[in-house]
Amino acid sequence: MSLPSSIASSLSTSAFETLRLNIADEILTITIARPKALNALSQQVISELTQVTEHLSRLGEVNDEGKADWSIRGVILTGDGEKSFVAGGDISEMSTMTPDDVRAYAGRAQTFTAHLEALPVPVVAAVNGFALGGGCEIALACDMIFASERALFGQPEVALGLIPGFGGTVRLQKAVGPQIAKDLILSARHITAQEAREYGLAARVYASQEELLSGATEYLELVKKQSPLAVAEAKRSINATAHLSTLDGLQVELEFFADCFSTDDMREGTSAFVEKRKPSFSGR
């Protein structure tokens, strides 16, 4: 009898033109690779990223044999080369778009970021080089941003007669507050990785791109030791309560907390503690 294929194995690592995918030890690295355009987000990039998140959104599903598919436990999103993470939406493509065209393009891009945020596994943006416009916005849609010293962040759309259209006016102000968001968006200025960390935009800064990628991997290795189901529920609760009052948020958290008590992982994790052994989580 052949084994059911996992989500990791069904994700063909060679099926994309603008992305490179690498799966190692249950960690998926997605590299946006359009080096000639500094990895700018063309419509094809958004379409290919959407295909990847469609696969990943099935993580945790239980197969016919009763096993939960956690074949990918974390995702790193990065850009090809040292110069750029993503230099924004593709300006050449956008230059001839009509309002209807751009509504459709940015709408598809927003659907992609909604899927990314809802994934049951953590997504780390590993920002090397430029994260401008749509590049900063795609990083903001990840669960956390780790940067290299060379990273430069900015929302320079007003210099092009545009505004951020991929979540920048919304997610950036939630990340750094409206004052700093206006500072950056209205001036189109770039900030360094250190400034991004001071503002709370980047969680960590590494000396080099190599250290950045190994730092992101080490972080996800730590996540891998935990219950996959609890990690997914914790992420869901943080996302669901981010914009609620404390009292409303606590009500929502209570439901997620109670849900955990119907899972095998909770019984295993607490029994393992009591029995002084390492837990073996099934992710169910």
> Where in 33-72 is the site for ligand CO8 (CB under 6 A)?
37-38, 40-41, 46
Query: Residue 80 or residue 265: which is nearer to ligand CO8 going by CB?
Result: 80
- Out of 23, 33, 144, 160, the only residue in the binding site for ligand CO8 (CB under 6 A) is 160
State yes or no: residue 133 binds ligand CO8 (CB under 6 A). Answer: yes
State yes or no: residue 140 binds ligand CO8 (CB under 6 A). Answer: no
Q: In what order do the strands lie in the sheet with 152-154?
A: 84-86, 130-132, 152-154, 190-192
Minimal distance, residue 93 CB to ligand CO8, in Å: 7
Q: Does residue 232 contact residue 61 with C-beta atoms inside 8 Å?
A: no
State yes or no: residue 79 binds ligand CO8 (CB under 6 A). Answer: no
State yes or no: residue 132 binds ligand CO8 (CB under 6 A). Answer: yes
- Out of 16, 70, 130, 146, the only residue in the binding site for ligand CO8 (CB under 6 A) is 130
Tokens of 26: 């249950």
Site size with ligand CO8, rule: CB under 6 A: 24
Query: Residue 29 or residue 113: which is nearer to ligand CO8 going by CB?
Result: 113
State yes or no: residue 91 binds ligand CO8 (CB under 6 A). Answer: yes
State yes or no: residue 106 binds ligand CO8 (CB under 6 A). Answer: yes
Tokens of 136: 């900063």
Stretch that binds ligand CO8, among 25-33, 81-89, 200-208, 233-241 (CB under 6 A): 81-89
Q: Any long-range contacts for 159-162 (C-beta under 8 Å, 24+ apart)?
A: 159/188, 160/91, 162/94
- Out of 92, 98, 245, 246, the only residue in the binding site for ligand CO8 (CB under 6 A) is 92
Query: Residue 60 or residue 134: which is nearer to ligand CO8 going by CB?
Result: 134
Tokens of 56: 């990943």
Which class for 272: exposed (0-12), middle (13-18), buried (19 or more C-beta within 10 A)?
middle
Stretch that binds ligand CO8, among 51-59, 132-140, 242-250, 269-277 (CB under 6 A): 132-140
- Out of 153, 166, 199, 281, the only residue in the binding site for ligand CO8 (CB under 6 A) is 166
Helical spans, DSSP H, in 119-192: 134-140, 168-176, 178-187
d(CA 172, CA 260): 32
Query: Residue 83 or residue 224: which is nearer to ligand CO8 going by CB?
Result: 83
- Out of 69, 80, 90, 117, the only residue in the binding site for ligand CO8 (CB under 6 A) is 90
d(CA 87, CA 184): 16
Q: Does residue 200 contact residue 179 with C-beta atoms inside 8 Å?
A: no
Q: Does residue 261 contact residue 233 with C-beta atoms inside 8 Å?
A: no
Which class for 211: exposed (0-12), middle (13-18), buried (19 or more C-beta within 10 A)?
middle
Query: Residue 106 or residue 176: which is nearer to ligand CO8 going by CB?
Result: 106
Query: Residue 74 or residue 167: which is nearer to ligand CO8 going by CB?
Result: 167
Minimal distance, residue 97 CB to ligand CO8, in Å: 10
d(CA 209, CA 149): 8
Helical spans, DSSP H, in 83-227: 91-94, 99-118, 134-140, 168-176, 178-187, 193-198, 209-224
Q: Which residues bind ligand CO8 (CB under 6 A)?
A: 37-38, 40-41, 46, 87-92, 105-106, 109, 130, 132-134, 156-157, 160, 162, 165-166
